[in-house]
Amino acid sequence: MDNMAILESLKESFGLDPKTSKVLVVGLGHTGVSVAHYLHKLDFKFAITDSRDKPPLKEAFFQVLPDTPIFTGGFDESAFKVATHIIVSPGVSLMEESIVQAIADGVKVVSDIDLLACSITAPIIAITGSNGKSTVTTMVGEMAKLAGKKIAVGGNLGTPALDLLTEDAELFVLELSSFQLERTSALNAAAASVLNVSADHLDRHDDLETYAKEKQRTFRGDGVLVINLDDPLVRSMSEHGRSCLTFSIKHTEADFYIGTLEDQEYLMHGKHALMLLAELPLEGRHNAANALAALALGMAVGLDKEAMCTALKLFKGLDHRMQKVAKIRGVTWVNDSKATNIGACAAALEGYDTKVILIAGGDAKGADMNELAPLIKDKTKSVVLIGKDADLIKQAINESVPTYYARNMEEAVKICAELAEGGDSVLLSPACASLDQYKSYQDRGNQFSKAVLRLMA
């Protein structure tokens, strides 16, 4: 779309007009920076506010757009009072007092995903869920690439949505978080999936029901719904009259499922075997579910079946997601630091046939760790706890398995090395966010990997 067409779409959808609108960008992170560049390109009047005294990206941003008004060290009420529209970054809660008041005063909330949707004619595949969304997004991107499509992959994963506009893509594949979705209203994806819903981000969402409703916003519009039949909350999201494809690792009545032919398991579409399950190079049944979801999404937009299956056979997985670090003296060490909630940890544990030694803990984000307790009892030999909410997990386990505390990752790995015997697996799958001790889940995973590799020395 050219700029004139984009401006017409923005005006029709949100009343956004460069001549009359005053836009306040809330948050100067990667999303906020991408929004600012987008607004500048379209000649909008805008300012930026950030609660931090020194946002890390501020200096680099000033090098490019030095005349931009920026208010830091708290949300400036005067900036909100003159705004006609606010674009709130996902990292900022809509419950902030200044934002609540602005909405009450009639200021319109727009998201970067809304801006993207108003700026393209190419189809969007939208993917959300408590767990697996990064894996499925990457799978679909690889499938589309092998099928010969010019693609743009990003959103919550990697590249901010608006930065994808430079790629002149035929297909956009977006990973979307609940924080992005709760402030998005213009998305109409050609195909969309809520992969699963489990307790996560309950420090920002009131309860599981509210969280699920935010996820369901992915399905707005008239595109194809891709539904996980194994998740009751997702199953209830199907809509009468909408095109729908289903996937399941438990039910053979799904459109995409695991079937057995001549004593071998296959990824199936209806009566057609697509590929051997054993050809999928990722461990765990949860990754089979991810593959089925990716196949359904690709099928919904007409991707070639053979190309999709080839992409799955070549797919090596994501860093910090069930990533094998090393095998030392018969003990396998696995980095699943991206398991930042209960559901992700549960999926990792369920993928094992034998009991593991688990490293868990961090910031539980308000989740009820009692939900994880039965699986820990069933799937672990012992648990080593780290981080600020270690005691919550300890209480939930209630002495059903031996439990140890570690002050940091180095100490956790040393304890696990003493506990482990040949044939064991040590799994870092924290079930918690990382920011109580680390810069990110990537940093946490890297610290684990470094500590493991030091064992080899």
> Torsions phi, psi of 55, nearest 5?
-60, 135
156 belongs to the catalytic site: yes
Find the helix packing angle between 285-300 and 342-350, rounded to 10°.
110
Select which of 131, 149, 196, 201 is catalytic: 201
**How far apart are the C-alpha atoms of 412 and 398, rounded to whole Å?**
20
Out of 85, 149, 156, 228, the active site residue is 156
Nearby residues of 263 by Cβ (< 8 Å), 6 or more positions away? none
Gap between the Cα atoms of 173 and 118, Å rounded: 16
> Which residue reads 């697509």 in tokens?
274
Q: Look at residues 287, 283, 255 and name the one whose alpha carbon lies nearest to residue 268.
A: 255
240 is catalytic: no
| Amino acid, single-letter form, for residue 419 | L
**Distance (Å) of CA 180 to CA 68, 194, 334:** 24, 14, 30
* 201 catalytic residue (yes or no): yes
CB-CB contact of 433 with 365 (8 Å): yes
Query: By C-alpha distance, which of 249, 280, 265 is closest to 257?
Result: 249
* CA pair distance 214, 205, nearest whole angstrom: 9
Selecting among 133, 149, 286, 365, the annotated active-site residue is: 133
CA 275, chain centre distance (Å): 27
Sign of the torsion formed by the C-alpha atoms of 261, 262, 263 and 265: negative
Residues forming the active site: 133, 156, 201
